[in-house]
């Protein structure tokens, strides 16, 4: 893994237990990430985190919003199910994509996926402004 799990605010998860969870989760069809969008986490960027995770989540990873997870001071907070790990301080797109990389392993390249997401957002913005040619150029890079 690129970073230590504690840097993502994992509670109760040692590296060994995270590896056991990943092995057990591979037998489960789907992993679910719940993103708290309540008031405190919302002010700390959880809706943006939800948008990034929803856009980039690979097959087998469901992303949904949820209410308060009870750790408002450590927000934005996420719950990774079925294991029930809580992830805190996940308020940037980079941290969200790194979480997906940690969950999915080497098959998920966080930098490449984040770059594609950024290009798509820029293309969508250009399209809203009426710049179809610029939007097409940006979206064709994805």
Q: Are residues 10 and 80 in the same domain?
A: yes
Q: Are residues 22 and 85 in the same domain?
A: yes
Q: Are residues 28 and 98 in the same domain?
A: yes
Number of domains in the chain: 2
pLDDT at position 88 is: 92
Q: Are residues 21 and 11 in the same domain?
A: yes
Peptide linkage before 133 cis (omega within 30 of 0): no
According to DSSP, the residues that pair with 78 across neighbouring strands are 35, 87
- Please give the chain's pLDDT, 142 residues, in tens: 344 444 455 444 556 665 665 665 555 558 999 999 999 999 999 999 999 999 999 888 999 999 999 988 898 999 999 888 899 999 898 899 888 988 888 888 888 888 888 888 888 888 889 988 888 888 888 6
Q: Are residues 85 and 124 in the same domain?
A: no
- CATH at 13: 3.40.30.10
What tens digit of pLDDT does each residue of 55-75 get?
A: 999 888 999 999 999 988 898
Q: Are residues 63 and 44 in the same domain?
A: yes
| Structural domain harbouring 141 | 109-142
pLDDT at position 2 is: 42
What tens digit of pLDDT does each residue of 18-34 get?
A: 566 566 555 555 899 99
Q: Are residues 71 and 116 in the same domain?
A: no
State the Cα–Cα distance between residues 19 and 56, nearest whole angstrom.
Answer: 22
- This prediction's pTM: 0.72
The helix/strand/coil state of 91 is coil
pLDDT at position 24 is: 57
The helix/strand/coil state of 113 is helix
pLDDT at position 142 is: 60
Q: Are residues 10 and 37 in the same domain?
A: yes
Q: Are residues 35 and 50 in the same domain?
A: yes
């Amino acid at each position: 893994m690129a970073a230590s799990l504690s840097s993502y605010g994992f509670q109760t998860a040692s590296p060994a237990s995270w590896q056991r969870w990943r092995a057990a989760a591979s037998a489960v069809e789907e992993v679910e990430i719940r993103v708290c969008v309540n008031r405190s986490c919302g002010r700390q960027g959880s809706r943006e985190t939800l948008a990034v995770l929803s856009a980039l989540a690979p097959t087998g990873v469901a992303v949904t919003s949820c209410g308060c997870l009870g750790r408002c001071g450590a927000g934005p907070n996420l719950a990774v199910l079925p294991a029930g790990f809580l992830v805190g301080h996940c308020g940037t797109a980079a941290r969200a994509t790194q979480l997906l990389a940690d969950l999915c392993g080497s098959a998920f390249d966080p930098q490449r996926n984040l770059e594609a997401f950024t290009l798509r957002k820029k293309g969508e913005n250009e399209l809203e402004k009426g710049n179809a040619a610029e939007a097409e150029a940006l979206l064709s890079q994805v």
